[in-house]
Amino acid sequence: MGKSRNIIQALSENLRIYLADPLVIIERYRVPANELEARQDIKKARIALYELDERVTVQVDAARANLSDQRYGIDLTYVRGYAKNDASRGELPLIDLRDRVLDWAQQVDAGALTGNAIFTFGYQGAGGITRGDRMVTMTMTFVSLRDLSITQSTIV
């Protein structure tokens, strides 16, 4: 297993524990919003945490990567039920969920949680809300300072 997998698993499990809501599904991959509309297993909400792009910020010695800015996406999807439901059944609970994720990100100790594979985990912003037939979605973006000087993988 590699550091990337450990980071995603540690962050998503910590978020699941923080939210303590059995009706919120936590997954580790991105799915297009239109594909989520057909899913019947999402009773209230789905949160997906996954890697986005990475940019090396510090190189040492013979241009070896040392530190990077690793970005993460967190997709929030909230089930509103019917196409004619107003914001009180979709958009407003979705932004409540966003605020809970923000609170989690403010208190999470990314270094301790990941064995210093990443040192920080900070909020960068969010996209707008997309309304589907049954669900509303938005994507939040976070950035971490990642240590690339340590061994990234182990032999499986």
The predicted-structure confidence for 6-53, as pLDDT tens digits, reads as follows 999 999 999 999 999 999 999 999 999 889 999 999 999 999 999 999
Q: Which residue has the tokens 């978020």?
A: 15
Task: Report domain extents, the chain.
Answer: 3-147
pLDDT value at residue 57? 84
What does the alpha-carbon distance between residue 7 and residue 115 come to, in Å, rounded to a whole number? 9
pLDDT value at residue 34? 86
What does the alpha-carbon distance between residue 94 and residue 80 come to, in Å, rounded to a whole number? 9
pLDDT value at residue 153? 85
Paired strand residues for 122: 143
Describe the chain by its helix, strand, coil percentages, rounded to 5: 30, 40, 35
CA dihedral 78, 79, 83, 88 (to 10 degrees): -60
Residue 136 confidence (pLDDT) above 80: yes
pLDDT value at residue 60? 84
From 3.30.2000.10, 3.20.20.140, 3.90.470.10, 3.40.50.12780, which CATH number describes the 3-147 domain?
Answer: 3.30.2000.10
Strands (E), the chain: 24-27, 45-60, 64-79, 122-126, 130-131, 135-147
Per-residue confidence band for 156, with pLDDT thresholds at 50, 70 and 90: low
pLDDT value at residue 63? 84
Per-residue confidence band for 1, with pLDDT thresholds at 50, 70 and 90: confident
Residue 155 confidence (pLDDT) above 80: no
